[in-house]
């Protein structure tokens, strides 16, 4: 799956980061990301640092976008970092988040389906007051903006210009990550309540340990899957491998390219409880649902994931990081 197709699968309410090392990498994400948003009738804001606005306009034009028209209508806004992120040359997370919420609500009032923002952060290498709160800002977006409002954003960081310490924090504060023309579910992501908590270091360690445990569980599920295929009388080792790759696309990848999550929040909750050993009755009591409603949800989950049974559905969802069992 190419990068543009991956970007098309990403919906509103998501927060991504691009770690790039060349103008070509930056452009390969920026131009299709904006073009997709314009096609979906979203308001698009492109925040630049050292890049040329005319270059962006030219590349969008090559993709068939009537740039003059969308800028004139206000659907596309091109701005520069300091004017978009600072007040009187000071970086204030509260003000920027409030502004993003207001911009999103304004877009909806004006008939757009949502707000799409892509912002290059290279301007932040300069010494603006308040930039010590940059990672706090990134983490708070995951709590205060993206879950609550129809907004989609990519924060772009030039790895050549920021410290490794800052880049590490950026990775930890973005649920999805774009690198080398691929979009990844980021299992190094730390939720805001943990990242901003007092015991952040301890929570980082716990997340790393959880990742190890999850990988162990996934490996066990893979092994069981292959055993099931063999027990069912697979025709050959080649057929087993074909089936294995169909259901386990991460077998040879440390981090999986993102696949659109087909599950609702309620379905993910149910799968999490199944993974913890819950019966239909126990799940119903926990979620205040009838046992029949739980059964109906499970039937839908199996159909959506093309899963043979409950365990297989859990394994598929965990492999794609649609659920994380603590």
> Minimal CA–CA distance to 103: which of 81, 130, 84?
84
CATH 1.10.10.10 assigned to domain 200-319? The reply is yes
Q: In angstroms, rounded to a whole number, what is the distance separating the alpha carbons of residues 234 and 240?
A: 6
Distance (Å, rounded) from C-alpha 95 to C-alpha 213? 39
- Burial code (b: 16+ CB inside 10 Å, e: under 16) for 194-216 equals bbbeeeeeebbeebeeeeeebee
Distance CA 3, CA 21 (A): 16
User: What is residue 243's predicted lDDT score, i.e. its pLDDT?
Assistant: 55
3-state SS, one letter per residue, for the chain = CCHHHHHHCCCCCCEEEEEECCHHHHHHHHHHHHHHHHHCCCEEEEEECCCCHHHHHHHHHHCCCCHHHHHHHCCEEEEEHHHHHEECCEECHHHHHHHHHHHHHHHHHCCCCCEEEEEECHHHHCCCCCHHHHHHHHHHHHHHCCCCCCEEEEEEEECCCCCHHHHHHHHHCCCEEEECCEEEECCCCCCHHHHCCCCHHHHHHHHHHHHHHHHHHHHHHHHHHHHHHHHCCCCCHHHHHHHHHHHCCCCCCCCCECCCCCCCHHHHHHHHHHHCCCCHHHHHHHHCCCHHHHHHHHHHHHHHHCCCCHHHHHHHHHHCCCCCCC
Q: At what angle do helices 310-319 and 265-275 cross, to 10 degrees?
A: 110
Give per-10-residue mean pLDDT for the chain (326 aa).
86 94 95 97 95 95 96 96 74 92 97 96 87 94 93 96 95 92 86 85 78 73 63 52 52 47 85 87 91 90 83 82 69
| DSSP bridge partners of 257 | 184
pLDDT for residue 254: 41
Q: What is the largest CA-CA distance in the chain?
A: 70
Asked if residues 156 and 83 have their Cβ atoms less than 8 Å apart, the reply is: no
Rounded Cα distance between 256 and 16, Å, is 15
Map out the domains of the chain as residue ranges: 3-195, 200-319
Res 180: pLDDT: 83
* Token pair of 314 as six digits: 């859990």
Closest CA to 169 of 141, 138, 203: 138
Half-sphere exposure of 284 (CA within 13 A, CB side): 13
Residue 47 CA to residue 34 CA, distance in Å, equals 11
CATH class of the region 3-195:
alpha beta
C-alpha span between 68 and 59 (Å, rounded): 13
pLDDT at residue 234 in the model: 47
């Amino acid at each position: 799956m190419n990068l543009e197709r991956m970007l098309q699968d990403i919906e509103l309410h998501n927060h991504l980061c691009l770690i790039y090392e060349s103008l070509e990498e930056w452009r390969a994400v920026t131009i299709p990301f904006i073009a997709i948003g314009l096609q979906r009738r979203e308001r698009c804001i492109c925040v630049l640092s050292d890049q040329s606005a005319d270059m962006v306009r030219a590349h969008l034009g090559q993709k068939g976008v009537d740039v003059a028209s969308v800028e004139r209508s206000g659907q596309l806004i091109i701005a520069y970092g300091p004017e978009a992120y600072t007040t009187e040359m000071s970086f204030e997370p509260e003000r920027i988040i409030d502004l993003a919420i207001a911009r999103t609500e304004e877009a909806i009032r004006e008939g757009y389906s949502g707000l799409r923002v892509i912002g290059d952060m290279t301007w932040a290498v300069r010494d603006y007051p308040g930039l010590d709160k940059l990672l706090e800002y990134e983490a708070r977006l995951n709590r205060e903006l993206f879950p609550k409002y129809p907004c989609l954003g990519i924060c772009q960081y030039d790895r050549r210009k920021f410290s490794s310490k800052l880049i590490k924090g950026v990775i930890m504060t973005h649920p999805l990550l774009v690198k080398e023309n691929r979009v990844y579910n980021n299992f190094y992501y730390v939720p805001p309540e943990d990242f901003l908590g007092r015991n952040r270091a301890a929570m980082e360690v716990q997340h790393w340990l959880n990742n190890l445990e999850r990988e162990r569980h996934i490996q066990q599920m893979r092994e069981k899957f292959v055993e099931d295929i063999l027990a069912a009388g697979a025709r050959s080792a080649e057929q087993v491998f074909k089936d294995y790759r169909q259901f386990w696309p991460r077998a040879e990848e440390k981090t999986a390219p993102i696949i659109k999550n087909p599950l609702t929040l309620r379905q993910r909750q149910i799968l999490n409880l199944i993974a913890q050993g819950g019966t239909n009755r126990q799940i119903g009591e926990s979620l205040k649902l009838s046992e029949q409603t739980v059964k109906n949800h499970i039937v839908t989950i199996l159909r959506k994931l093309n899963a043979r049974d409950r365990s297989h559905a859990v394994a598929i969802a965990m492999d794609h990081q649609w659920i994380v069992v603590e």
